[in-house]
Amino acid sequence: MTRLLDLGLPAYLIQSNLIGIIAQRLVRRICNYCREPFEISVEHLAEMGVHLDREGSIELYQGTGCHRCRGTGYLGREGIFEVLPYTEAIRRLTTSDTNVDALSRTAREEGMITLRDNAIQKLLDGITTYQEVIRVTWEEFSLTD
């Protein structure tokens, strides 16, 4: 939204035509042929920037490398998405001098799913690794930080 305003689009055009905003990135998928579980402490993940609402250890997955993935441990890609529904509350905040902090707070309250949230869910589902979550969703990309 702020990019549209920066490009010179009048706020009233954005307010009357926008229905939502979607951002996407690709993370590498763990190879299904050499995938294996391992345990890592939630505290260790938090030190690296991946915060979970849990304590203790958690079981994640990694690829060890095989001939199918050419020794990388990854095979294919998976999309992660950030979805911002353009609600009435966010519409009211869309002005020529939009406050990004207020917009971020309201977006989260209105149900926005961030790239980081979606990537962490893929991590917990065993689709990608914490290294990919960190690489693709550095804190700058998140509207909520």
Is residue 68 in some structural domain? no
Mean pLDDT computed over 6-29: 91
In a domain, 35, yes or no: no
Q: Is residue 112 part of a domain?
A: yes
Q: For residue 86, give its domain range.
A: 2-30+40-57+77-138
Is residue 72 domain-resident?
Answer: no
The mean pLDDT of 75-87, rounded to a whole number, is 94
C-alpha closest to that of 112 among 78, 83, 142: 83
Residue 8 lies in a domain: yes
- Residue 87 neighbours by CB under 8 Å, 6+ apart: 110
Determine, yes or no, domain membership for 128: yes
Mean pLDDT estimate for the chain:
89
CA distance 40 to 38: 7
- Output the domain CATH number for residue 116: 3.40.50.300
Give 94-134 pLDDT, tens digit per residue: 887 888 888 889 998 988 988 999 999 999 999 999 999 99
